[in-house]
Structure 1
Amino acid sequence: MSKVFICAAIPDEQAIKEEGAVAVATAIEAGDECRARAKFHWQFLEHYPAAQDCAYKFIVCEDKPGIPRPALDSWDAEYMQENRWDEESASFVPVETESYPMNVTFDKLAPEVQNAVMVKFDTCENITVDMVISAQELLQEDMATFDGHIVEALMKMPEVNTMYPELKLHAIGWVKHKCIPGAKWPEIQAEMRIWKKRREGERKETGKYTSVVDLARARANQQYTENSTGKISPVIAAIHREYKQTWKTLDDELAYALWPGDVDAGNIDGSIHRWAKNEVIDNGREDWKRISASMRKQPDALRYDRQTIFGLVRERPIDIHKDPVALNKYITEYLTTKGVFEDEGTNQSATDTLSSPVPETDAVETAIPDNEKTECKVEVEPSVEREGPFYFLFTDKDGEKYGRANKLSGLDKALSAGATEITKEEYFARKNGTYSGSQQNTGASDTTAQPGSVKVTADEVNKIMQAANISQPDADELLAVSRGEFVEGISDPNDPKWVKGIQTRDSVNQNQQETEQNDQKAEQNSPNTQQNEPETKQPEPLQHQKKLLAVFGKVPADSIKPEHIRRYMDKRGEQSKTQANHEKSSMSRVYSWGYERGYVKGNPCAGVSKFKAKNRERYVTDKEYQAVLSVAPLPVFIAMEIAYLCAARVSDVLSLKWEQIGNDGIFIQQGKTGKKQIKAWSPRLQAAIEKAKQLPTSAYVISNQYGNRYMYKGFNEMWVEARNRAGKISGILTDFTFHDLKAKGISDYEGSSRDKQLFSGHKTEGQVLIYDRKVKVSPTLDVPLPENIPRKYSK
């Protein structure tokens, strides 16, 4: 009889650092461990032939009840990130989450969360998870406060909301200084308009925007007119560099030009220099990298003067870097029509060049006098080299051949050999055979050869890659593709089987775990649910701290003993045993952190047992569901249908965007677990989405009257009102929560617990059992009654 074995391949540190190797795992059926190990070795090397050059540690163990395992016959890299090998138990165990605050990427937060963080903490740098969680109060229970009204005013002013964070911080500081603490969002909005008008007046913007190149040429023409009278030959109004232009210094200038405020190309302020290095270059800002890559395709790119470089960046259309073809076309046209070489002042080769017998020090006010040039050398800090991987394309008589380089030196070798740099998306589109020139042929089949691309053999590609010292694509990305998942840059976003805009949705959803915690906590606060709240709920850590600090805040840390924790647990458990457990765990994490760093002598929570929390068993019947659905307003109606049919959480439903609606279904990345799924279409689900088109036009599927996303507080009020109204009309007890609709969807889904796990997106089958609440109809014994039974007891 065959058994299931968990098999993992873990690379050593050298392979991870030099080759980019990743750990992978799979599940294999075999008669015993020896056969499973042999089968795993063969399958792994067959799937990853390049792994023969790396050192791997192979682990094989029998699957046991209660431990997570990867799917059968599929390679899973995420499993190795979420689990680790435990030598003591000889099995895989989940990785414990870190208890200390972690930084988050500010640019990846949702716009409303970004505004809340800036309003509450007056910064957009070094943002931690705790800061995000605390700031989200302004989007929920603290919406009516002064800070909450500032956030609302920002969201309702697109002309300010779309500005860079640094400028929005100026606006926030202005209204905090000018408005009284009790001001509401309309008054704050009016003050923001005053700030915006004042800022525009200070910038002296009149009419159409004029680039620095145009200003320089206008000054040259003006001086030419003035000098013509005095018979003095004019000079070009150019800012000559005090250093030799290289690709690194060009990257610096591109970063300076991205400064959100006014900038003088001839005099870069120190604060702008620090901002460019820390915020743009070190962080590898996307628009900067794309512009830099496109500039490397331009002939004589290093010869253009600083005015041209600054004008090119500051005149570019918004978000043009997201379209590589359009960006390349814009840069080429700009340099052709407005580009000026730095040495044109001495070379009389262009029509715009003016000969200059007089010294350049008399040209414009930004020039440096001769006696000060030795003292005013411009110090340019070396920029950070562009990080790979890079992609390129060879075109010859045999067709087009593509390749990849991990380092910039490899790209330079390829470019010197006649290659052209291309985007990551184009590279993988060509590799997958889905490239169609302009990528407009969205209806093409995956198996159809696309026009304009010539497929080459693996040997030919390897020869090109070896010539330029180029490595293979990332293993973790290929693993994701092999599992059938969408991977940005590999999967074709124009393919009908994928949802348009998935790649942008991924960057937004990875930061929604915190909002999910708030949503679930607020929904579980009703008296009839606190005692039976599932153990999987994760309330907001800040709320734990408030409760704990109210009791232990002024007590020396080492004075708190286990008996004090027990007394607190017993008292807190009278209100909610589940919350008492969460608060005890939160306090234990704090003490563990302090113990490891020498702040406390021990952890008083160790050895203190938790309450046994009972899983919630409330199942919503069809009759109860239909009663609420019949009286629900349209936004609640649509949200109920999506939550039930897709087994989705309330935060995932409210954050759903139209770009997630695709041909095959609805793309949802769960905010809590990060699980990505495409919920396949059904007639009922399609009908719900069609009803959503009756709502105000918005990026969100479920939008309010302003076209914005519903905040949880406002939506929950509509939900509770509809639920209570349904109870009064029908006489049915409608005491269930919105989160119970997800449990109803899982309970009503036909299939095994494994099938329900795949449907719901939970990591383990054990978690699914918490939501599977429908009482099953069990069979009864069907045995015929024997004949001729003595009727001793009959009358």
Structure 2
Amino acid sequence: MRRARKRKHNPHIPAHIDQAALPAAVFFDHRDSGVWYTLHRDEGGRQRRQNLAPRSVLLSELHSMMEEREGVDRDSLRHLCKQFHDSVQFKKLRPKTQDDYCYSRDVLLDTPTKLGKDLGDLAVRKFTPALVQRLIDRIADEGTPSKAAHALRYLRRALQWGRNRGFLDQNPALGIEAPKERKQRRLPAPHIMNSLIERARERGQLKRGQAGACPSYLWFVMEIGYLCRLRGIETVTLTDANALEDGVLTNRRKGSRDNVVCWSPRLRSAWDAAKAYRAEVWLKRSMPVSKDPARRPLIVAAHGGHLKKSSLDTAWQRFITTAVEAGLLTTEQRFGLHDLKRRGITDTPGNRADKQEASGHRDESMMDVYDLSVPRVKPSAD
């Protein structure tokens, strides 16, 4: 429902009404005993007035009246989702989570039902666990289990928000069986990974905007991520404070243990290249240099500031797409930046315990996800 534009204070409006929250097209006539009214145009285009309620009406009742006039169903899933997305709790979520929730909301609201209505037009108070389970199963059976899993997570969150605020009595999405998502444990082949790193190094030297050019930082982000077994966000948040005398102090997320990755000629070369590119950008931009090593990011964007993870993801997708088009790898061999960490853990020498210590994972079961090497063992007997 539209909100009214900012109005001048009207001293005649009753004190119990918040004038800043009045719905659009609602006005107060203070003559006689006072009445709330709205304006509309008839079929002939002439403006008409319609009285809504006496002066004692509540602000919430005025909103309800206008919603009914505009066809807003306050009991529907569509209305609950709108309220959730307008809430402070939603706005505090990370942008990536908000984007995922918006996508999942659109999937759910536009899902047709046997009643001849979209799911978004049904009353949430009539939702049952069986209905939600059938919905999720149907989306998963269409060959999109990941879409179904995202939709379930969003629906569970939105309905719980609505339950806590009186939109419904119970959350029917709790306890629903989630579809089994496809496991994408991609392991780039060493020769493909190395050729892409070399391609990124060469294309990074081209001028920005030139055909085939890619960001200069891409190759050493790939190198450091692989050699230190880091996620993309962990690589772009490294600073000069992470460079110790004997190696690189990691800054792992998700509860993983930090460790020091000892210097090697290859790691030192990538680290020095990142610092050289940073110095070049800062000199070109005449940017001040902080004396605090923790405030000097190792990886910087072309503007000289911190490189955002979203910018890195965009640059990577463009780079890998052009590499596929150039025939350096097939669509099936395509991999993500995070897969460089899996390649790094798999290539770590030693047994499984050595790999776990190097990766920083606290749970040994994570080696089933990240260590895809094939153990070499002796025969049972000579």
Normalising by structure 1, what TM-score? 0.29
Cα distance change of structure 1 residues 651 and 663 upon mapping to structure 2, 3 Å threshold = same
Match of 2:360 among 748, 761, 764: 761
Task: Classify the secondary structure of the residue corresponding to 2:217.
Answer: helix
Alignment RMSD:
3.4
- CA shift, 1:624, in A, is 1.0
Contact persistence 1:696–1:706 (CA under 8 A) = no
Aligned partner of 1:694 in structure 2 is 276
Match of 1:565 among 132, 138, 142: 132
Indicate the percent of aligned positions where both proteins have the same amino acid. Answer: 24
Cα distance change of structure 1 residues 727 and 630 upon mapping to structure 2, 3 Å threshold = farther
Aligned partner of 1:329 in structure 2 is none
- CA shift, 1:695, in A, is 0.8
Aligned partner of 2:171 in structure 1 is 603
Cα distance change of structure 1 residues 567 and 771 upon mapping to structure 2, 3 Å threshold = same
Larger Rg: 1
Q: Distance in 2 between matches of 1:684 and 1:129?
A: 45
Aligned partner of 1:718 in structure 2 is 315
Match of 2:223 among 633, 641, 654: 641
Q: Deviations over 1:192-212 (max 9, x none)?
A: xxxxxxxxxxxxxxxxxxxxx
Aligned partner of 1:612 in structure 2 is 180
Cα distance change of structure 1 residues 763 and 590 upon mapping to structure 2, 3 Å threshold = farther
Match of 1:684 among 266, 271, 285: 266
Answer yes or no: is 1:744 the counterpart of 2:346: no
Q: Distance in 2 between matches of 1:759 and 1:739?
A: 16
Aligned partner of 2:93 in structure 1 is 133
Q: Distance in 2 between matches of 1:752 and 1:771?
A: 13
Q: Distance in 2 between matches of 1:596 and 1:684?
A: 54
Q: Distance in 2 between matches of 1:740 and 1:621?
A: 11
Q: Distance in 1 between matches of 2:263 and 2:198?
A: 23
Q: Number of aligned pairs?
A: 258
- CA shift, 1:541, in A, is 4.6
Cα distance change of structure 1 residues 676 and 778 upon mapping to structure 2, 3 Å threshold = closer
Contact persistence 1:627–1:730 (CA under 8 A) = no
Task: Classify the secondary structure of the residue corresponding to 1:743.
Answer: helix
Q: Deviations over 1:372-408 (max 9, x none)?
A: xxxxxxxxxxxxxxxxxxxxxxxxxxxxxxxxxxxxx
Higher RCO (CA < 8 A, seq sep 6+):
2
Contact persistence 2:348–2:355 (CA under 8 A) = yes
Q: Distance in 2 between matches of 1:129 and 1:751?
A: 46
* Residue identity opposite 1:762 in structure 2: H
Q: Distance in 2 between matches of 1:732 and 1:657?
A: 33
Q: Deviations over 1:4-34 (max 9, x none)?
A: xxxxxxxxxxxxxxxxxxxxxxxxxxxxxxx
Contact persistence 1:642–1:653 (CA under 8 A) = yes
* Residue identity opposite 2:198 in structure 1: S
Contact persistence 2:238–2:298 (CA under 8 A) = yes
* Residue identity opposite 2:354 in structure 1: D
Contact persistence 1:677–1:761 (CA under 8 A) = yes
* Residue identity opposite 2:219 in structure 1: F
Contact persistence 1:619–1:774 (CA under 8 A) = no
* Residue identity opposite 1:694 in structure 2: A
* Residue identity opposite 2:155 in structure 1: M
Gaps of 5+ in 1: 1-120, 122-126, 138-516, 519-538, 784-795
Cα distance change of structure 1 residues 772 and 130 upon mapping to structure 2, 3 Å threshold = farther
Answer yes or no: is 1:656 the counterpart of 2:224: no
Contact persistence 2:278–2:298 (CA under 8 A) = no
Task: Classify the secondary structure of the residue corresponding to 1:694.
Answer: helix
The residue correspondences of 1:105-144 to structure 2 (distance < 5 A) are 130-133=90-93, 136=95
* Residue identity opposite 2:252 in structure 1: Q
Q: Distance in 1 between matches of 2:366 and 2:101?
A: 22
Aligned partner of 1:587 in structure 2 is 155
Q: Deviations over 1:153-181 (max 9, x none)?
A: xxxxxxxxxxxxxxxxxxxxxxxxxxxxx
Q: Distance in 1 between matches of 2:225 and 2:170?
A: 45
Contact persistence 1:669–1:676 (CA under 8 A) = yes
- CA shift, 1:610, in A, is 2.0
Cα distance change of structure 1 residues 546 and 727 upon mapping to structure 2, 3 Å threshold = closer
Cα distance change of structure 1 residues 583 and 716 upon mapping to structure 2, 3 Å threshold = same
Q: Distance in 2 between matches of 1:571 and 1:548?
A: 12
Q: Deviations over 1:265-286 (max 9, x none)?
A: xxxxxxxxxxxxxxxxxxxxxx
The residue correspondences of 1:138-153 to structure 2 (distance < 5 A) are none
Gaps of 5+ in 2: 1-85, 112-118, 205-215, 283-295
Match of 1:668 among 247, 250, 253: 250
- CA shift, 1:748, in A, is 1.4
